[in-house]
Structure 1
Amino acid sequence: MKALVLAGGYGTRLRPLTHTGAKQLVPVANKPVLHYCIETLVDASITDIGVIVGDTAEEIRTALGDGSAFGAKITYIPQDEPLGLAHAVLVARDYLAEDDFVMYLGDNFIIGGIHDLVRDFEAERPDVGIMLARVEDPTVYGVADVAPDGQVLRLEEKPRDPASDLAVVGIYLFTPAVHEAVRSIDPSARGELEISDAIQWLLDEGRTVRSSMISNYWKDTGGITELLEANRAVLDLLEPSMDGDVDAESEIIGRVRIEPGAVVSRSRIVGPAVIGAGTEVTASYIGPSTSVAGNCVIDASEIEFSIVLESSSIRGVGRIESSVIGREAQVTRAENLPRSHRLVLGDHSKVQITP
């Protein structure tokens, strides 16, 4: 069995972070989401992996290489424009050949792996296997109408009036039957070839589509809230380590990982949390569910339930919560001004200010 990992797209819900980087490489617990994806596939004994790439192809190639670091073999497949998941299957036709394959959206995050899902698919071999999860707002997902035995009756992409609250998770299993389906459908109203339409085409042709409910943690990390939640979930499983420098005036509580070269002085860190290599934390509080990447500076500040990316600095700004701080960002206190907020924000930024 092969894998097809989708690592293109524009990442509009993560702007402005994704103006300068691939959404699949935004870190969770200081490791890119895409790395977790590749590791999950290798854990399921799938090592022949095709990666769909777009405008951020070079960044993706740099992050994954030839796959050998993960125990995999990676083939890169260019997609000129992100014209839908079914379009990705079309452009990967030569690579996929006549093999069964897993299609894995590179910004999806799952704890617990897909080993059992793959083995069940290989044993029963329906035409399609999908994973489902109950969600609060099914109108933003592909939604399944399912019989009691798990047979899928109908699929609809982002329906206004959903038939259920069962969203299709971004992990699919296909036999070669899907290739005829993706060639037979028309673009949707948003101009994309929808994989849900291709699966519905197979259903209309009398083919078998089986579903299974996801029993482990899953998140689509395409939005800030979801990214922070995934970060929290991974940190909850963190193995603590103390490889950096912590002075006697600092207090470390709970599951905390301090990576080599990090320096913590006169500070309090309450886990689960991770402090990246080369980062300096001085006279500060780092609260639960926070990951600080490498070569950052946190000075005289408090931060909790947040993600801080590489080489950023936060100095003297009081308390920060539920935030994602981009690479090489600088957050500082404004001096000698009336009480006000001074902001320099990129396109599509979102800021919440306490009155």
Structure 2
Amino acid sequence: MTSADVRAALLAGGLGERMGRLTDDTCKPLVPYAASCRLLDFSMANAVRSGIPEVVLLSMHRERDLVDYLTAHWDGAGIRVNFGPHDGLVRSAGAPPGAPLPPRPPESGTADALLNNAEYLFAPGARDVLVQHADHVYTFDYGPMVEAHRRAGADVTIGVQRIERRFVHLFGMVEVDADLKVRRLVEKPADPTSDLVFTAFCLFRTEVLEEVLTELAALGEDGWRHDISRDVLPRMIAEGRHVLAYPISGYWADIGTVERYHLEQMKLLDRPGPMPAGHLPRTLTGAPPTYVPRLGSLVGGDVDVPDGATVRSSLLFPGCVVEPGAEVERSVVLPGARVRSGVSLREAVAAAGEDVTSPRTGLADLEPA
């Protein structure tokens, strides 16, 4: 199944406030991950893997950083990145890297991002629009999902997966019938009754998405919540449109909090790992990280663990330094961080560029205030 007539929409406008200090100096999609890449690289790699010809960037916060990063690493590398209202400016001499970009219209939610970019998303040539998020970690070929979506004649097909019940309140809880038709979607339920969640990537028939967004926009600013999960999909379900669930069997994670950021990276150390190092995007360095059995750790290509340093079950990112006499256990050490001699780091994250000079256990130092 070809994806040549699918256009992707990459939602990358969130502030990442639940990521605490990890997003003090960068936007959430550019937070480093897996000692190999940054969060948004997974969705971009999946689009390339699936043969999708174009992705439209839907961004707001630190947009210049996103544009420069995507230009350097992805645009023209098997896919075209459409920068929406900035596309012509970015591709000309009028806005060199680092130069300010004109502000976009304000947005109250993910559906506003689609509306504000309607002319790019709904331009001729796309039979379906794939909505992606720039903070999801998974390796996936959308081709079979496109095939199932079209074979069923669905108006929208949403990815679904079972997760640990204690995390369901962070997601959209989904109820389906025996034929995988979605009967109910509840965003961030206070009292979850199911462990089936919406993976937040979904495939819309282009004309249906445009029609539903137009209907919602007609309700006025205060008539809806401007959100895909709270408005667009529930409206389609209520109207009896064909909303199909597509089970995702492989590894998938939404990195929404500091706790999830740490926990999901610890899972990468399992043997066999949920995502082999060779399958990870490689944007931090040209080489994948190496799993070092004697350390039980994933180590970036340019990282040297010196004699006298103790490293166990951790991720050491390219450009980090662990000094002799330091002890790092079940921790994540980001690019440019230095763990000083005599310091112990346990169940923690050393932020990018941080100089760790005192012992630390846990994630409290990174949590939002």
Q: Which sits farther off after the overlay, 325-334 or 275-284?
A: 275-284
1:332 corresponds to 2:357? yes
How far apart are the structure 2 equivalents of 1:150 and 1:294?
46
How far apart are the structure 2 equivalents of 1:70 and 1:224?
31
Compared with structure 1, are the counterparts of its residues 57 and 269 closer, same or farther at alpha carbon in structure 2 (3 Å cutoff)?
Answer: farther
Aligned residue identity for 2:277: L
Cross-structure match for 1:217: 251
> After superposition, what is the alpha-carbon deviation per residue over 1:7-54, rounded to whole angstroms, capped at 9, x for unaligned?
111001111111210111112222101112100111111131111111
Residue 290 of structure 1 contacts residue 304 of structure 1 at CA under 8 Å; is this kept in 2?
Answer: no
Cross-structure match for 1:71: 78
Q: By how many angstroms is 1:174 displaced?
A: 0.6
**1:227 alignment partner, one of 261, 271, 279:** 261
**1:160 alignment partner, one of 169, 185, 190:** 190
Q: Secondary structure at the match of 2:324?
A: strand
How far apart are the structure 2 equivalents of 1:28 and 1:296?
17
Residue 320 of structure 2 contacts residue 333 of structure 2 at CA under 8 Å; is this kept in 1?
Answer: no
Unpaired runs of at least 5, structure 2: 1-5, 86-103, 280-288
Greater relative contact order: 1 or 2 (C-alpha under 8 angstroms, separation 6 or more)? Answer: 2
Q: By how many angstroms is 1:139 displaced?
A: 2.8
Cross-structure match for 1:38: 44
How far apart are the structure 2 equivalents of 1:279 and 1:295?
9
**2:30 alignment partner, one of 25, 31, 46:** 25
Bigger strand share: 1
Residue 273 of structure 1 contacts residue 287 of structure 1 at CA under 8 Å; is this kept in 2?
Answer: no
Compared with structure 1, are the counterparts of its residues 239 and 166 closer, same or farther at alpha carbon in structure 2 (3 Å cutoff)?
Answer: closer
Cross-structure match for 1:307: 332
Q: By how many angstroms is 1:69 displaced?
A: 5.5
1:13 corresponds to 2:44? no
TM-score with structure 1 setting the length:
0.79
Q: Secondary structure at the match of 2:277?
A: coil
Residue 290 of structure 1 contacts residue 303 of structure 1 at CA under 8 Å; is this kept in 2?
Answer: no
How far apart are the structure 2 equivalents of 1:155 and 1:122?
22
Compared with structure 1, are the counterparts of its residues 172 and 37 closer, same or farther at alpha carbon in structure 2 (3 Å cutoff)?
Answer: same
Residue 280 of structure 1 contacts residue 295 of structure 1 at CA under 8 Å; is this kept in 2?
Answer: no
Compared with structure 1, are the counterparts of its residues 202 and 179 closer, same or farther at alpha carbon in structure 2 (3 Å cutoff)?
Answer: same
Q: Secondary structure at the match of 2:130?
A: strand
Q: Identical aligned pairs, as a percentage?
A: 25
Compared with structure 1, are the counterparts of its residues 69 and 145 closer, same or farther at alpha carbon in structure 2 (3 Å cutoff)?
Answer: same
1:118 corresponds to 2:142? no
Residue 258 of structure 2 contacts residue 367 of structure 2 at CA under 8 Å; is this kept in 1?
Answer: no
Compared with structure 1, are the counterparts of its residues 170 and 289 closer, same or farther at alpha carbon in structure 2 (3 Å cutoff)?
Answer: farther
Aligned residue identity for 1:166: L
Q: Secondary structure at the match of 1:316?
A: coil
Alignment of 1:1-355 (within 5 A): 1-30=6-35, 31-65=37-71, 67-68=74-75, 70-77=77-84, 79-97=104-122, 99=126, 100-135=128-163, 136-137=165-166, 138-162=168-192, 164-176=194-206, 177-185=208-216, 192-196=225-229, 197-235=231-269, 236=273, 237-239=276-278, 256=290, 270-277=295-302, 281-333=306-358, 348=368
Q: Secondary structure at the match of 1:36?
A: helix
Q: How many residues align?
A: 319
Aligned residue identity for 2:315: T
Q: Secondary structure at the match of 1:104?
A: strand
Aligned residue identity for 2:197: A
TM-score with structure 2 setting the length:
0.77
Question: Aligned Cα RMSD in Å?
Answer: 3.1
Q: Secondary structure at the match of 1:310?
A: coil
Aligned residue identity for 1:57: E
Q: By how many angstroms is 1:107 displaced?
A: 0.2
